[in-house]
Amino acid sequence: MLTAERETDTSTDLDLRPDEIGTGRAAVAGGVASLVALAAGELVAAVLDSGPSLVTAVGSSFIDRFAASLKDVAVAVFGTNDKVALIVGIVVVSTVFGAAMGVVSRRWTTAAPLTIVAAGLAGGWALATDPQGTTGVAVASCVVSIGAGLAAFRLLWRWAAEPRPPAPSVPVENAAPGARRGSRRRFVIAAGGLVAVAGASTVLSRRIRSSNSIGAERRSTVLPRPLSAVSVPAGATLDVPGVSPYVTSNADFYRIDTALSVPQLEAANWRLSVSGLVDRPFELSYAELLDMDTVEVPVTLMCVSNQVGGDLVGNAVWQGVPLADLLDRAGPHADAAQVVGRSVDGFTAGFPLADALDGRTALVAFGMNGEPLPAEHGYPARLVVAGLYGYVSATKWLSEIELTTWEAFDGYWVPRGWSKRGPVKTQSRIDVPGRGVAAGRVAIAGIAWAPGRGIERVEVQIDEGDWQEANLADVASDETWRAWHLAWDATPGTYRVRVRATDGDGETQTPDERSPAPDGATGWHTRTVTVA
Ligand SMILES: Nc1nc2c(c(=O)[nH]1)N[C@H]1C(S)=C(S)[C@@H](COP(=O)(O)O)O[C@H]1N2
Ligand SMILES: [Mo]
């Protein structure tokens, strides 16, 4: 039996006879080798820098390539869950494909190894061409990932072999009875061990990443005192449970972007360049930015993908340098008509230069609710422009502001089917009550926004009743949302509750229901409420 096993060990390499490896083992060998390759790539990337890995680079190029077609599935922009789903999808597809190639290798031995090499090279290419990737990390990840994948496959392939059937001269009863079981155990242990190593190395990669994150640096940053600050009136937040507070906390602020791994930018190495159609292009460090005259202003930011009644909207107090001051210093040419923000992650957004200069709040922001910007919201600096949807204006992880003509450039989402202009539409939302409520005096309350125009009136309709005017809370300015509420003596039954807002220009929200693409949803938020 010992001899038999040793024989299997030494005689086998990758060129086993097809019938010596069962389909199941071949699939496991291919699948596990893929997992090992992916995990090795993660580890190398995490050790070398805080940028993307093979997996996230592939995911990012997937997003960039297919974002346009995904918009109809209501992800004009990727939310957190979509990102998790994408990463899980890449891992699952790689594993399943690896398993299939393992099975193909029973006939054509080099199928799985070739696939590992090809997939590694493709991932390396994605990483090398990723805006945040570097050639060095791409080459290292590629080499280590392919090497680990091949080694794992080779090991499993060798151990996947069944012991040779006993020679015909040996009576069956005398054939080594434990050989099959022993070899099976060995294979299972090897496969399980490799999966465990891949898992542990992924956990380790995550640890390394979080310890390399800019979290600590960010927490120790002290923001300057703003030269001017718009104060938030005490009556801006309603005393109604469940209604949105006037200022959204950083933790609760919605997050939307195409970034699969949150860029970790060290403020000390960060530069903002102001360039393009300007007389005096210049670069600015983080310290220089914070040294300028800064303002602190509440501005409501919203995503064009927000559905009627949706939660892709938030109101924060932003601290930053007026964009107009930076543009002034650069001296725009007469033909400059578009401000383009560029991010380290390759994202771009453009809006009319006139919007930056018409007196509205338009900032290169570095502070959010009294703290340095959280990494997910653009640390160290981003753009915030009142009255424009985020996809045309609010570039996070900002690296460049370029002035150009209106025709010369289209931002990230424009060729993907979204409108080039992105002024925010008037919207209103019911926060409370939910679908069910106890009879009695009930508060119907929510928020409404029309940044730049302000909210003049909010009305609520119950079933086909008269539109009733809601009470409006205070606001710091017309660039933020406004809370509203109405008392309702609710008796048992089921009701349709609707809301509509009228902006400062006297325009009432249209009841026409339109989906977000291409320039923002319209319609009245409606909720069916059961009173018990
Ligand atoms: N770099 C970068 N900036 C970006 C985006 C992005 O994908 N990448 N998305 C934009 C969109 S669509 C919106 S709605 C806002 C959201 O900002 P928030 O995540 O801070 O809420 O960021 C904008 N800035
Ligand atoms: Mo957005």
Q: Cβ(315) to ligand 1 under 6 A?
A: no
Question: How does pLDDT run across 324-336, given as a tens digit for each residue?
Answer: 999 999 999 999 9
Instruction: Classify 186 as helix, strand or coil.
Output: helix
Separation of alpha carbons 433 and 426, rounded Å: 22
- The C-alpha atoms of residue 55 and residue 142 are separated, in whole angstroms, by 11
| Ligand 1 atom 19: residue of nearest CA | 255
Band the pLDDT of 202: cuts 50, 70, 90.
very high
Ligand nearest to the CA of 345: 1
Cα–Cα distance list, 262 to 54, 267, 398 (Å): 15, 15, 13
Q: What is the pLDDT of residue 84?
A: 86
Give tens-digit pLDDT for 112-149: 999 999 999 999 999 999 999 999 999 999 999 999 99
Angle between the 54-70 and 111-129 helix axes, to the nearest 10 degrees?
A: 70
Type and span of the H or E element at 266:
none
Instruction: Give pLDDT, residue 19.
Output: 64
Per the CB < 8 A criterion, the answer to whether 476 and 234 are in contact is no
Rounded to the nearest whole angstrom, what is the distance from the C-alpha of residue 396 to the centroid of ligand 2? 11
Ligand 2 centroid to Cα of residue 222, in Å, is 29
Mean confidence (pLDDT) of the chain: 91
Q: What pLDDT score was predicted for residue 20?
A: 79
384 lines ligand 1 (CB under 6 A): no
Q: Do 483 and 429 form a contact (C-beta atoms < 8 A)?
A: no
Residue nearest atom 16 in ligand 1 by C-alpha distance? 256
445, 240 Cβ separation under 8 angstroms: yes
Angle at the Cα of 271 (from 267 to 275), degrees rounded to 5?
Answer: 155
Give the Cα separation of 440 and 487 in Å (integer). Answer: 10
Residues 6+ apart with CB under 8 A from 245: 237
Cβ–ligand 1 distance for 256 under 6 Å, the answer yes
Q: Is the distance from CB of 236 to CB of 476 less than 8 angstroms?
A: yes
Q: What average pLDDT does this structure show over 427-438?
A: 97
**Ligand 2 midpoint to CA 57 (Å):** 21
Closest-lying ligand to the alpha carbon of 67?
1
User: pLDDT tens, 46-104?
Assistant: 999 999 999 999 999 988 888 777 654 444 456 677 788 889 999 999 999 999 999 99
Bond prior to 168 in cis (omega within 30° of 0): no
Q: What is the spatial distance between Cα 439 and Cα 437, in angstroms, rounded to a whole number?
A: 7
Between 180 and 422, whose confidence is greater?
422
State residue 163's pLDDT score. 63
Q: State yes or no: pLDDT of 222 exceeds 80.
A: yes
Model confidence band, residue 228 (pLDDT cutoffs 50, 70, 90): very high
- 19 vs 430, higher pLDDT: 430
Kindly indicate the confidence band of residue 416, based on its pLDDT and cuts at 50, 70 and 90: confident
pLDDT in tens, 255-276: 999 888 899 999 999 999 999 9
Distance CA 512, CA 521 (A): 9
* Of 2-6, 155-159, 241-245, 277-281, the least confident: 2-6
Classify each residue of 177-201 as buried b or exposed e, where b means 16 or more C-beta atoms within 10 Å of its C-beta.
Answer: eebeeebbeebeebbeebbebbeeb
- Please check the confidence at residue 168 and state whether its pLDDT lies above 90: no
255 lines ligand 1 (CB under 6 A): yes
* Ligand 1 atom 7, closest CA: 257
pLDDT tops 60 at residue 174:
no
What local confidence, expressed as pLDDT, does residue 181 receive?
53
Q: What is the layout of strands, in order, in the sheet containing 348-352?
A: 282-285, 271-276, 398-404, 338-343, 348-352
Residue 10 has pLDDT above 80, yes or no: no
pLDDT at 68: 73
303 lines ligand 1 (CB under 6 A): yes
> Which residue has its alpha carbon closest to ligand 1 atom 18?
255
- Confidence band for 1, pLDDT divided at 50, 70 and 90: very low
Distance 273 CA to ligand 1 centre (A): 19
Whole-number pLDDT of residue 169: 54
Which one-letter DSSP state was computed for residue 77?
S
pLDDT at 456 > cutoff 70: yes
pLDDT tens sequence across 337-393: 999 999 999 999 999 999 999 999 999 999 999 999 999 999 999 999 999 999 999
DSSP collapsed to 3 states, 9-67: HHHCCCCCCHHHCCHHHHHHHHHHHHHHHHHHHHHHHHHHCCCCCHHHHHHHHHHHHHH
Ligand 1: atom nearest CA of 378 is 20
> Which is the closest atom of ligand 1 to the Cα of 253?
21
> Considering only CA atoms, which residue is closest to atom 8 of ligand 1?
257
State residue 71's pLDDT score: 54
